[in-house]
Structure 1
């Protein structure tokens, strides 16, 4: 059975070699570099203890330095499963979700035709190269040498050519070589008019050969020197050889350079790539006249796990980035992402290199942002979030974007970063901001603002119970701290209640490091709806801080703390305690504001405000008042059962705040 052209290439693009080999070996993670697609393991073909079997995901080949076995994914399946070639293809196609083609007796003919088309393309490249060196190409040479500043050696490396301003120059040259008209047209270099006449597709243009990963010429790109031309750049049409959405300009050389550790940089066009490569950035590629496609993204990830997309500093460049984000989100995998380097306004990589040189471009690349930062910028830039409705709209759009991510682990980490950014936007000044364009420190360390190289400083350890207000002699402060502790402990043990109280948790006024730490842990799990595992994960994240709270006697005796399955009691306790805390903090804020005002100009209105605020604090301490015989209504309108309220009041009555919050004997 013959396979159609391109089937095996598509199959190899869809399945990584490491995923095939990984079913038969155990990787040596000390020697492997997963981010670079470099894997080592003991050879599955002969008995050994050392890891001498090497898999290179970028190149798609394996090699054993012991028994010298080598091959690709199909070869590995043939050797390890004792399969024929077509059986290995069928197995790999099932894994990749590809339909095996029907038997095609003409497939061999098609393969021969592709070889013939490739030969026509090579003849066209040679012809345009001769025209470029001849007198007719003087204008093109001046443009490339003076405006683009490419050396003669660089012009030869990129095989730059010139299509003369003639309708039949290439046509006559191919006829002289004996090339049939149908091959000329099917290769894309010759076009057929409505009247059936043949003419050169490229006229009066600088020519850039487009080669596939194997180095075969598959199409041409032309740059017009006429400022009034309808299209500045023109690519050849899609043919049996050339699929715009499945190829990259400079694919082969960039893959080789990336394999040696160079970062993969994605430009917009031919000249961006040529300029970057000549400036010392050899792993540069560009899409071919289209927006980046899913297939091109997969090609990039096969070359490098984290390509850097360069964005022109204009509106069009920003829009292009946003399209790439939507395309990439469903395809993300662990260790496989994108970064975005935003260039100065009005400049592309070629312009920046000409004006400021390679160090300026390197600086831009060093500051490349992760994709989550661009996603956040897209959803927030130019918008004002001064109402609950606008904030809710932002949350909805972000949730919809994150739902596109199929990998649960990546989706979780994106959610955590978005939550940090959301906090910084809505509560700026309440806690230190975390910047996504700087590396994070090691556990127990934080980075000061001021750039990528800011020196880390130690974070103060969490306050212990003895150092907190729970152990002080300030009775009023101890009441508030104890209530906060009860609320946070309740959320930790009953995570199903976090979601409905998220806004109240964010508004809590906390002065204790331990409480702030626990609040962040609680908010991180706000949208985790897996009841079987959420509580355990939350407890692990809370760590010693939660153990410290649960060790306090007045927290330990709470019914819903002793019985984590008693969610009804937990809900009622939260409603009551959050209402008291909100009333207390609101009254305190009013008193502070009135006190500040009274320092400037005292009058009866201000003194009345202070007295009313003091009364509100006293009322908050009393809790909800009776509304009817069988129930009570809290200040926030929540109805509570009388029996539950009596139990809660008995608990609070048992606390002797003059003894630092200890129970009366």
Structure 2
């Protein structure tokens, strides 16, 4: 709905923002200036110990210098408590006694309907709680006692009981004045397909109320007491209040715990969450009877940038983890990550805590693995990579998976980690690096076309006749100093076959993230070459886009030079006979391709007499300078 002009401004001005935020944070009074309304605290949106979260009462805004969260009081209520915009407006208005303007009739009717549904679910919650104290619930109380759920825990989670009676809850709610249609809409009763009186959905079950971020009951989950029951756990159906794919069990209590520094732990079920909470891990949540959904992932990331997925070590838990990998990869990025803590086979969190203690769970959570590790395990465990084809298939699967990550910087780090893991798995025998080593020996001392190699220093890098050896050396040197560029041109680098063994070793090191003595020799030789003259200070001045453009241009020209060599070798063989139009045309085309590689900004107009291009001039500008010294690590 639209609000009258000035209403929101007046609302914000009436409530010091520190009052709303102060309920979620602990102010650092040494750093804060209370008289000026200048407040500092550890950020409630990400885990930290220092006070980087700033709140300014005069301006009415907050800002975190760590995670860059920012906004006003309404934004804070929406982010911290998961409220809609209008819900946040109503909470803030109630704080200062302001009346929110009336909505249009249809919106007001929907709002009133939701309010009535909340009244029905809250009445059902209280009724279930009372039933747990009756004689019919003795078996349920014994079960809860065996699981270690004392009265305090039962009260904290509002655990109740639904007697094995088809009409008990419905009759009780109707006695309180609730219409049967409203009870059915709330998901508490259902009508038989063949007609007749509505019956209770939950019967003979321990009841776990499901609440939203504000602590309002939106639905229920029930655990059957009869071991032969068709479904061990039963949840409320989809209702105007309850969407199981968009909510998490215990979300309200978990959000408060995470704001105080606890990790967000995603367990499998209600009892897992309760067991974790009793052991001190109060930032625990669980999906609602289904696999984790995309909406639930976004809800988790609003609470914590790196939730820990704690799954059982059995086959079902492993399958759930594998499904979650594929779901999370297209969503992952900075401040949207996952870690996985896989419990021992046959144990849930309650079992582990009871048998090994709280410390075992703390250690398990501390050793939680990033999503990349589970992806790697899925693609490699139990497999034999004894052939180039199997290694190639592994590489293709990993590339396809990583390509789904939308954030470029995250993809680059994934690629770097994958290269490191490949090195650990295969040592120095990763197929493409080996191919470079073998081919380099084959062509040692001569070019691929059979002509004499171009000596280092015989040509200049900015001229139209820059030799393949110098272009190759410049490309390798640039990648060595800025290794993150390797991932951007990896496929093109893999096609290179350097003209000497040391350069082949350097190329292998760049592609696999390793270091070798031969590669180090090649690097020192390139550093000492006066025609390259790359200095750390000059290279660092180039922005990312410029560096990528320059590297791509170097590779374009290198490939064109090698194509020229190949065509010349073929022409030498054919020229012995009669020169035909086909040979002339091929020579014209290869000359044009070579010129275009040297002139990436020029259209292919056929004019071969243009001056050198601006990019080559820029290249020469920053390829001059003192001999390149070894850069500091990191």
Q: Into which bin does the TM-score normalised by the smaller protein fall?
A: 0.5 to 0.7
- Whether the aligned pair in 2 keeps the contact of 1:487 and 1:574 (CA below 8 Å) is no
Please provide the CA RMSD for this pair.
4.8
Residue 152 of structure 1 deviates from its aligned partner by 2.0
Unpaired segments ≥5 residues, structure 1: 4-27, 64-69, 77-84, 90-102, 431-481, 526-541, 576-623, 632-640, 642-665
Residue 392 of structure 1 deviates from its aligned partner by 2.2
Residue 319 of structure 1 deviates from its aligned partner by 1.3
Tell me: CA distance 1:244–1:205, structure 2 relative to 1, closer, same or farther (3 Å).
Answer: same
Helix, strand or coil: the match of 1:406? coil
Equivalences for 1:145-544 in 2 at 5 Å? Answer: 145-146=145-146, 148-194=147-193, 195-427=195-427, 491-492=476-477, 499-500=491-492, 502=494, 519-522=508-511
Unpaired segments ≥5 residues, structure 2: 4-38, 80-84, 90-102, 431-456, 458-467, 480-485, 534-550, 577-586, 588-634
Helix, strand or coil: the match of 2:330? helix
**Quick one: distance in 1 between partners of 2:387 and 2:55?**
60
Helix, strand or coil: the match of 1:281? coil
Helix, strand or coil: the match of 1:178? coil
Residue 420 of structure 1 deviates from its aligned partner by 1.6
Helix, strand or coil: the match of 2:296? helix
Residue 260 of structure 1 deviates from its aligned partner by 0.7
- Whether the aligned pair in 2 keeps the contact of 1:168 and 1:199 (CA below 8 Å) is yes
Helix, strand or coil: the match of 1:405? coil
Please state if 1:551 is matched with 2:554: no
**Quick one: distance in 2 between partners of 1:256 and 1:517?**
52
1:512-543: CA deviations, max 9, x gaps? xx996764335569xxxxxxxxxxxxxxxx99
**Quick one: distance in 2 between partners of 1:105 and 1:416?**
58
Residue 150 of structure 1 deviates from its aligned partner by 1.5
- Whether the aligned pair in 2 keeps the contact of 1:491 and 1:522 (CA below 8 Å) is no
Residue 105 of structure 1 deviates from its aligned partner by 3.6
Tell me: CA distance 1:149–1:334, structure 2 relative to 1, closer, same or farther (3 Å).
Answer: same
Helix, strand or coil: the match of 2:310? strand
**Quick one: distance in 2 between partners of 1:30 and 1:518?**
49
1:216-245: CA deviations, max 9, x gaps? 011111001211111000001110110001
**Quick one: distance in 1 between partners of 2:565 and 2:370?**
39
1:119-158: CA deviations, max 9, x gaps? 1111111111111111111100000001x11122112211
TM-score by length of 2: 0.62
**Quick one: distance in 2 between partners of 1:341 and 1:110?**
42
Helix, strand or coil: the match of 1:221? strand
**Quick one: distance in 2 between partners of 1:544 and 1:234?**
67
Tell me: CA distance 1:57–1:299, structure 2 relative to 1, closer, same or farther (3 Å).
Answer: farther
- Whether the aligned pair in 2 keeps the contact of 1:308 and 1:368 (CA below 8 Å) is yes
* Alignment equivalent of 2:75, drawn from 58, 72, 75: 72
- Whether the aligned pair in 2 keeps the contact of 1:56 and 1:62 (CA below 8 Å) is no
**Quick one: distance in 2 between partners of 1:522 and 1:159?**
57
**Quick one: distance in 2 between partners of 1:359 and 1:306?**
21
**Quick one: distance in 1 between partners of 2:165 and 2:68?**
42
Residue 296 of structure 1 deviates from its aligned partner by 0.6
Helix, strand or coil: the match of 2:282? coil
Helix, strand or coil: the match of 1:245? coil
Equivalences for 1:588-627 in 2 at 5 Å? Answer: none
**Quick one: distance in 1 between partners of 2:279 and 2:420?**
38
Tell me: CA distance 1:75–1:172, structure 2 relative to 1, closer, same or farther (3 Å).
Answer: closer
Tell me: CA distance 1:42–1:516, structure 2 relative to 1, closer, same or farther (3 Å).
Answer: farther
**Quick one: distance in 2 between partners of 1:54 and 1:555?**
47
- Whether the aligned pair in 2 keeps the contact of 1:489 and 1:546 (CA below 8 Å) is no
Which residue is 1:24 aligned to? none
**Quick one: distance in 2 between partners of 1:104 and 1:285?**
37
Residue 414 of structure 1 deviates from its aligned partner by 0.9
How many aligned residue pairs are there? 462
**Quick one: distance in 1 between partners of 2:70 and 2:532?**
61
1:449-487: CA deviations, max 9, x gaps? xxxxxxxxxxxxxxxxxxxxxxxxxxxxxxxxx999997
- Whether the aligned pair in 2 keeps the contact of 1:265 and 1:307 (CA below 8 Å) is yes
Residue 500 of structure 1 deviates from its aligned partner by 4.9
**Quick one: distance in 2 between partners of 1:516 and 1:240?**
64
Which residue is 2:452 aligned to? none
**Quick one: distance in 2 between partners of 1:291 and 1:113?**
30
- Whether the aligned pair in 1 keeps the contact of 2:41 and 2:54 (CA below 8 Å) is no
Helix, strand or coil: the match of 1:323? helix
Please state if 1:567 is matched with 2:558: yes
Tell me: CA distance 1:62–1:183, structure 2 relative to 1, closer, same or farther (3 Å).
Answer: same
Tell me: CA distance 1:294–1:544, structure 2 relative to 1, closer, same or farther (3 Å).
Answer: farther
Helix, strand or coil: the match of 1:155? helix
Tell me: CA distance 1:33–1:265, structure 2 relative to 1, closer, same or farther (3 Å).
Answer: closer
- Whether the aligned pair in 1 keeps the contact of 2:471 and 2:558 (CA below 8 Å) is no
Tell me: CA distance 1:328–1:543, structure 2 relative to 1, closer, same or farther (3 Å).
Answer: farther
- Whether the aligned pair in 1 keeps the contact of 2:497 and 2:504 (CA below 8 Å) is no
1:304-347: CA deviations, max 9, x gaps? 11000012111211111121111111222313200000111111
Equivalences for 1:105-144 in 2 at 5 Å? Answer: 105-144=105-144
**Quick one: distance in 1 between partners of 2:78 and 2:522?**
55
Equivalences for 1:54-93 in 2 at 5 Å? Answer: 54=63, 70-72=73-75
Residue 55 of structure 1 deviates from its aligned partner by 5.5
Helix, strand or coil: the match of 2:372? helix
Residue 257 of structure 1 deviates from its aligned partner by 0.4
**Quick one: distance in 2 between partners of 1:34 and 1:203?**
40
Equivalences for 1:24-43 in 2 at 5 Å? Answer: 35-36=46-47, 40=53, 43=56
Residue 382 of structure 1 deviates from its aligned partner by 2.3
1:561-583: CA deviations, max 9, x gaps? 9x9574257647999xxxxxxxx
**Quick one: distance in 2 between partners of 1:283 and 1:391?**
41
Helix, strand or coil: the match of 1:390? helix
**Quick one: distance in 2 between partners of 1:46 and 1:493?**
48
- Whether the aligned pair in 2 keeps the contact of 1:488 and 1:519 (CA below 8 Å) is no
Helix, strand or coil: the match of 1:219? strand
Tell me: CA distance 1:224–1:574, structure 2 relative to 1, closer, same or farther (3 Å).
Answer: farther
